[in-house]
Amino acid sequence: MSTLDYWSCSRFADLLRGLPKPEFSNSKGWRDWEKKAKAKYPWRYWLVEEGLDNLQDFITWPARKVYDLECYIKNRWFTRTHALTAHPRDIQPGTWCDVGERFIYCLFNELVDFVEIELASWHIAFSDKEACKKYQTQFWPIKWQSRRRPQAGLDSLKWQSSLKYDDEWLSKEDPNFGKPTPQAENAKEILELYKWWVEKRPKRPDPMDESGWSAICRRLEINEEDYFTFENDDDDQESTQALNLCNKIEEAYNKEDEDMMIRLIKVRHGLWT
């Protein structure tokens, strides 16, 4: 339920309370407003913030139960927020994959879903009509919609990356004034991890091709998975060098994958909408 769905945030509530509630503010602004509202009209403040909320809870109880059931069905069988899943392009359904190998695919597939579906939907929901035309979607978010909108997710991350501490949060004398907020830092990291997985990692050369082992196998007409002592010393030496280089490339790739997984774990608390 969004803020606008609460009766205590309506125009009627502002009239009843006697002091309009700010549409946006920081933590200090909300504390100051609450203190002022309680001091000016204590009875009217209680009537709106307590009485109106309790009345809404009582009247909307059946609708909220239906909504809870809808959320359960959606989360259980559609978005499956209780599970980490790998995309079929990375792990074909029905094929065997060791746990250690599944980690990176499941983690980064979830990151992609977060950016392209969850974050994109959130960004569209708070965008104007013109922005929604850009993303070729309806102005209103569809509850069951899980359509991918990569550009909307990327635009959200770019916007979040630009957030800085300004005079609404800090005084200009504060050493953090003008610096990126924690939300901005998280967004920059998420964007970099997303681009690495989607753009950079798929372009990594195959270790067997890069080391020359594939070319040797084709020339000698052997299987790439086979390695044995060649009768020709030159071929034996060349193949050994190629395999050693192949192993180094694979180790470098594994190290890069591990480093990026660690970075993703560290930024996990920034994956929310």
Is 29 inside any structural domain?
A: yes
Is 72 inside any structural domain?
A: no
On whether both 51 and 124 belong to a single domain, the answer is no
Closest CA to 247 of 218, 201, 213: 213
Name residue, tokens 């509850």.
Answer: 143
Q: For residues 154 and 235, what is the distance between their CA atoms, to the nearest angstrom?
A: 50
What does the pLDDT read at residue 78? 79
Is 228 inside any structural domain?
A: yes
On whether both 152 and 228 belong to a single domain, the answer is yes
Question: DSSP state, 141?
Answer: P
* Domain around 47: 3-59
- Write out the two tokens for 88: 């079929």
The model carries a pTM of 0.77
Is 227 inside any structural domain?
A: yes
Q: For residues 132 and 152, what is the distance between their CA atoms, to the nearest angstrom?
A: 9
Phi, psi of 184 (to 5 degrees): -65, -40
Taking the CA atoms of the chain, what radius of gyration do you get in angstroms?
27
pLDDT, tens digit only, all 273 positions of the chain: 444 578 888 889 888 888 888 877 777 778 888 899 899 999 999 999 999 999 999 999 999 999 899 889 988 887 778 888 888 989 998 889 999 999 999 999 999 999 999 999 899 888 877 777 777 655 444 444 567 899 999 999 999 999 999 877 777 888 888 899 999 999 999 999 999 999 999 999 999 999 998 998 888 777 655 555 555 666 778 888 999 999 999 999 999 999 999 999 999 999 998
Which pairs count as long-range contacts for 196-203, CB under 8 Å and 24+ apart, including other chains? 196/260, 197/108, 197/111, 197/112, 197/260, 198/112
